[in-house]
Amino acid sequence: MEERTVGDPLEVAQENARRKARAVDGELVVGVDTGVALDDRILPKPHDAAQAREWLRALSGRTHGVVGGLCVVRAGREQVVVEVTEVTFRELVEDDVAWYVASGEWEGKAGGYAIQGRGAALVERIAGDYLNVVGLPLAALMRLVPELLQMRGFRA
């Protein structure tokens, strides 16, 4: 499944989550998409180290939105929600950018960073659901499927 990376960040996250959920058969299917939006522009997964440096420099000293799209499909019915968490990066110097890019942690990460790892050192503050930034808006999921905790084999 090819992910969309262009368009309104909220709509893109919803559509990507919907596509992921529809791609799997099951009694209860959850599709999730996480994107980074800066000035209404999506910063997708960098395709190389140069683009990772570009994304980090763009995020430096600024607040961006991490947009989590969540789609739950059960009994042929879809529920789709979007969660937005505001993340503010501290002012980064070139040594910060070089250190993080050299770590390789940026690979495969929307916006070129992972807050749950070394990327936490880049962040000054967040407003909203931390787990949304990590990649699963768990609070939103629990609102849609409160009985999930009671299901056998549940693992977050």
Instruction: Convert the pLDDT of each residue in 103-133 to its tens digit.
Output: 999 999 999 999 999 999 999 999 999 999 9
Domain assignment present for residue 154? The answer is no
- Quick one: the chain helix, strand, coil %, rounded to 5? 40, 30, 35
Domain assignment present for residue 13? The answer is yes
- Identified catalytic residue from 25, 33, 39, 48: 33
Instruction: Copy the structure tokens of residue 82.
Output: 């979007």
Active site (annotated) includes residue 96: no
Is residue 154 predicted with pLDDT exceeding 60?
Answer: no
Domain assignment present for residue 155? The answer is no
State how far the Cα of 79 lies from the Cα of 124, in Å rounded to an integer.
33
Terminus-to-terminus CA distance in the chain, angstroms?
A: 23
**Residue 20, domain CATH:** 3.90.950.10
pLDDT of amino acid 133: 97
Average pLDDT, the chain: 94
Quick: pLDDT tens for 23-43: 999 989 999 999 999 998 999
Host domain of residue 83: 9-143
Residues 6+ apart with CB under 8 A from 21: 29, 30, 31, 71, 72, 73, 78
